[in-house]
């Protein structure tokens, strides 16, 4: 509440008791307030007027405040309010009203206009020292001068305030100013009367700001790690980190009870004057400018947890996160530190990769060793090119079995082969009904058709009769030596059930042997639609000569058979020549003279078979002359081949012919364990083949261990020699395993 005090008048002073001198000025009454107060306090007279006691108490309080003000000149920093706010008390209370001045010419505080909120705020006037403090420290002259000049100043201030309204009234100068502005002339009686009515200075009524009760804190104050604004989220762990210091903790005296750190620190209380003397007559503290309370965050509702509206931060690079957690700034970046940091980061990774790579290389399976030829892959026989006596008519070919072809002549086209067809008939019978050693085979009965065909005058036949029984071997002899057509048809019916079915088997066998240019239409060759080529017939000759019983039959110049009168002669009359052993003759008007032959030659103590054929001999008038011409041409070729086929040492004993490749760059040489001679003729080029013999090569071995063979040729003419390690075969070492790529 506001209380307006009426100014003191001379009439009020006249009513004071008569024992007090009325003319005593107020200044004299205040010269020694401390002594009177002390005397009265010591005497403790009960009859002392109440006004004197109040005045003495006020004077004592003013003297104390003046002494503190003098001390405050030295410690001004302590008395000044903090944060630049004038008049802000330590407990945050704001005075709402001030006592009106006792000077009659001064305007009342209650009459001051309210300041417009939008008007600019004037700087507050510094409070002047009280008259009592001035009198005590500097004398009556200083206090009087301040008292004499004060009314005019206050009037000017009041007029200024009326001209420009302020939001809040300027605080009064304090009790000292009021005392100085009072009239100097007066009596003690008037002072007592004035004291009886009301004290000179009373505590000013204040409005206190109501502080809401502090709510219990839901969350304790926390210190958050904040992401720097200039942080590059795409940076990697290698970039130079930037130290971001943590926000310092708030002192405990600035924290509001139960308030979060986010609400801001509590305002620091301003320095105040020393407290007034205790008792009912204690005077109020010096009025100060009203303090504007700082806005505070709304208190959190009870039971409601604090909600975080900040989005989750992306993960920081490891070095930045470590810097924030440890709150230790990284050293300043430079080229040396950056290089050293990269070395420290990448060196363990590289070492780990190298260790993993080494382990993988060691446990990987080793590649399989392989034999590779280091000697010359081919060998050419000396003596120049081979010159063979080829006929001028027909076509033919010669081959050394297992070595290769000695040459061909003629067109090498399919042509009728006449009775040479019976070679395929014998091959199919022996393939499906083989004979071994002295076996004769099953007995076959001569049917009526075979007996009737025996009397044909236009073809070669055997004089067999119906119902006779002959063994398989005997019928094969009648097939190949006299070239009986009726026996060929009989064997076809016995084997396949019909002649056509047997012909189908003949063509199938030709296909299996690779005779791509041959076609069979009958088992005897009487039809000129049965055709073949010299090369195809040599393929058939190599296959059928593998049967011992067949070689025995075709090498017979003549024979005798029970049931047939006389000796049967072989049409191939060169069988009596040295080394000639077959195979089959054939002649017809379309085919001319034909001879498929076989001859042997001895090379290095071993028989070497030479196969050849002469087809289409037509340089004669009669059919039997054409056949004889084919036989004579064949004999000339046979004799030349027997003379030219020879041998040569292609590989010497202990000669290095190759090496074992371990797959990782290691090579262990291998040598031939014996001399290797190849069969050939002048100008022939043979190829060497180094193989492991179908056995897996070891990763290690001793010198002398056989690890493969070296060979020349193929089939019956193939020659070979074992090869062995020249030195120890050692498994690849750690360095080779580690550095292998493939």
DSSP 366-432: PPPPEEEE-S-SEEE-SS-S------SSSEEEEEETTTEEEEEES----EE-GGGGHHHHHHHHHHH
Q: Does residue 364 contact residue 737 with C-beta atoms inside 8 Å?
A: yes
**Distance in angstroms (rounded) separating the CA atoms of residues 598 and 583:** 6
What confidence score (pLDDT) does residue 651 get? Answer: 92
Q: Does residue 632 contact residue 385 with C-beta atoms inside 8 Å?
A: no
Q: Which of 505-514, 558-567, 647-656 comes out lowest in average pLDDT?
A: 558-567
What confidence score (pLDDT) does residue 478 get? Answer: 95
Neighbours of 577 (CB within 10 A): 12
Percent of the chain with pLDDT over 90: 39
Maximum average pLDDT range among 85-94, 153-162, 181-190, 217-226: 217-226
**Distance in angstroms (rounded) separating the CA atoms of residues 149 and 441:** 168
Mean pLDDT value across residues 519-527:
95
Tell me, yes or no, if the pTM score tops 0.85. no
Confidence of residue 254 (pLDDT cuts 50, 70, 90): low
Distances (CA, A) of 39 to 21, 42, 55, 135, 193: 19, 5, 14, 21, 22
pLDDT tens by residue, 175-222: 334 333 343 434 454 544 454 554 555 555 555 655 655 555 555 555
Indicate the burial class of 619 (C-beta count within 10 angstroms; 0-12, 13-18, 19 or more). middle
3-state SS class at 599: strand
Q: Does residue 109 contact residue 311 with C-beta atoms inside 8 Å?
A: no
Q: Does residue 472 contact residue 429 with C-beta atoms inside 8 Å?
A: yes
Maximum average pLDDT range among 2-6, 25-29, 357-361, 527-531: 527-531
Mean pLDDT value across residues 463-476:
94
Q: Look up residue 180 and give its two tokens.
A: 């100085």
Helices (H), 608-668: 623-644
Q: Does residue 282 contact residue 57 with C-beta atoms inside 8 Å?
A: yes
Average pLDDT, the chain: 73
Residue 596 reports pLDDT greater than 80: yes
Q: Count of residues for the chain?
A: 742
Confidence of residue 319 (pLDDT cuts 50, 70, 90): confident
Neighbours of 673 (CB within 10 A): 16
Q: Look up residue 617 and give its two tokens.
A: 């001999």
What confidence score (pLDDT) does residue 572 get? Answer: 87
Q: Look up residue 464 and give its two tokens.
A: 């067999």
**Distance in angstroms (rounded) separating the CA atoms of residues 242 and 311:** 22
Q: Does residue 376 contact residue 650 with C-beta atoms inside 8 Å?
A: no
**Distance in angstroms (rounded) separating the CA atoms of residues 340 and 458:** 109
Mean pLDDT value across residues 627-638:
94
Maximum average pLDDT range among 51-65, 206-220, 303-317, 544-558: 544-558
Residue 411 reports pLDDT greater than 60: yes
What confidence score (pLDDT) does residue 6 get? Answer: 53
Please give the residue that has the higher pLDDT: either 220 or 381.
381
**Distance in angstroms (rounded) separating the CA atoms of residues 710 and 729:** 19
Q: Does residue 65 contact residue 214 with C-beta atoms inside 8 Å?
A: no
What confidence score (pLDDT) does residue 42 get? Answer: 39
Confidence of residue 74 (pLDDT cuts 50, 70, 90): very low
Calculate the dihedral angle through the C-alpha atoms of 611, 617, 619, 621, rounding to the nearest 10 degrees: 130
């Amino acid at each position: 509440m506001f209380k307006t005090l009426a100014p003191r008048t001379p009439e009020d002073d006249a009513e004071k008791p008569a024992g007090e001198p009325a003319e005593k000025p107020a200044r004299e009454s205040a010269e020694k307030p401390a002594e009177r107060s002390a005397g009265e306090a010591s005497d403790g007279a009960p009859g002392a007027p109440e006004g004197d006691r109040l005045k003495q108490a006020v004077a004592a309080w003013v003297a104390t405040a003046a002494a503190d003000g003098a001390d405050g000149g030295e410690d001004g920093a302590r008395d000044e309010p903090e944060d630049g706010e004038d008049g802000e008390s330590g407990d945050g209370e704001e005075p709402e009203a001030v006592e009106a001045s006792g000077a009659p010419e001064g305007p009342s505080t209650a009459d001051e206009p309210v300041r417009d909120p939008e008007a600019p705020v004037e700087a507050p006037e510094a409070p002047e020292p009280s008259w009592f403090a001035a009198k005590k420290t500097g004398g009556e002259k200083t206090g009087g001068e301040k008292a004499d000049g004060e009314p005019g100043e206050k009037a000017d201030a009041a007029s200024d305030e009326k001209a420009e309204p302020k939001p809040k009234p300027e605080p009064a100068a304090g009790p000292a100013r009021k005392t100085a502005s009072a009239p100097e002339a007066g009596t003690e009686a008037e002072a007592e009367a004035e004291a009886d009515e009301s004290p000179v200075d009373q505590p000013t009524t204040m409005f206190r700001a109501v502080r809401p009760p502090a709510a219990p804190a839901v969350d304790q104050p926390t210190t958050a790690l904040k992401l720097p604004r200039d942080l590059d989220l795409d940076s990697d762990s290698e970039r130079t980190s930037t130290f971001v210091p943590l926000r310092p903790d708030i002192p405990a005296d600035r924290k509001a009870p139960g308030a979060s750190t986010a609400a801001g620190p509590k305002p620091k209380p301003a320095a105040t004057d020393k407290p007034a003397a205790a008792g009912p007559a204690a005077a109020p503290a010096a009025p100060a400018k009203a303090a504007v309370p700082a806005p505070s965050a709304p208190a959190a509702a009870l039971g409601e947890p604090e909600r975080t509206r900040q989005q989750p931060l992306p993960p920081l690079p490891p070095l930045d996160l470590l810097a924030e957690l440890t709150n230790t700034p990284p050293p300043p970046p430079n080229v040396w530190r950056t290089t050293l940091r990269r070395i420290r980061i990448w060196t363990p990774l590289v070492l780990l990769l190298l260790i993993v790579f080494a382990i993988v290389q060691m446990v990987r399976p080793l590649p399989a060793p392989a034999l590779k030829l280091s000697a010359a892959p081919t060998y050419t026989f000396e003596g120049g090119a081979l010159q063979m006596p080829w006929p001028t008519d027909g076509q033919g070919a010669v081959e050394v079995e297992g070595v290769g072809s000695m040459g061909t002549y003629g067109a090498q086209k399919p042509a009728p082969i006449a009775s040479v067809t019976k070679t395929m008939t014998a091959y199919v019978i022996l393939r499906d009904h083989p004979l071994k050693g002295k076996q004769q085979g099953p007995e076959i009965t001569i049917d009526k058709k075979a007996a009737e065909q025996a009397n044909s005058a236009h073809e070669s036949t055997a004089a067999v009769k119906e119902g006779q029984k002959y063994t398989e071997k005997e019928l094969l002899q009648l097939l190949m030596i006299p070239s009986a057509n009726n026996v060929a048809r009989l064997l076809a019916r016995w084997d396949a059930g019909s002649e056509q079915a047997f012909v189908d088997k003949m063509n199938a066998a030709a296909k299996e042997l690779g005779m791509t240019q041959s076609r069979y239409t009958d088992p005897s060759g009487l039809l000129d639609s049965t055709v073949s080529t010299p090369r195809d017939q040599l393929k058939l000759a190599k296959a059928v000569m593998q049967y011992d019983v067949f070689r025995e039959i075709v090498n017979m110049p003549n024979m005798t058979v029970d049931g047939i009168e006389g000796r049967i002669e072989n049409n191939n009359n060169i069988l009596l020549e040295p080394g000639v052993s077959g195979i089959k003759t054939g002649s017809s008007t379309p085919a001319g003279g034909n001879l498929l032959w076989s001859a042997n030659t001895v090379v290095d103590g071993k028989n070497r078979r030479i196969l050849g054929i002469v087809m289409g001999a037509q340089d004669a008038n009669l059919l039997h002359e054409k056949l004889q011409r084919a036989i004579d041409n064949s004999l000339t070729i046979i004799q030349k081949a027997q003379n030219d086929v020879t041998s040569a040492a292609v590989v010497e004993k202990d000669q290095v012919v190759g090496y074992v490749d371990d797959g990782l760059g290691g090579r262990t040489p291998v040598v031939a364990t014996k001399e290797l001679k190849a069969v050939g003729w002048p100008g022939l080029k043979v190829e060497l083949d180094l193989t492991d013999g179908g056995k897996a090569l070891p990763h290690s071995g001793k010198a002398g261990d056989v690890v493969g063979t070296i060979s020349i040729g193929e089939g019956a003419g193939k020659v070979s020699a074992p090869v062995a390690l020249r030195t120890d075969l050692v498994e690849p070492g750690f360095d080779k395993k580690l550095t292998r790529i493939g």
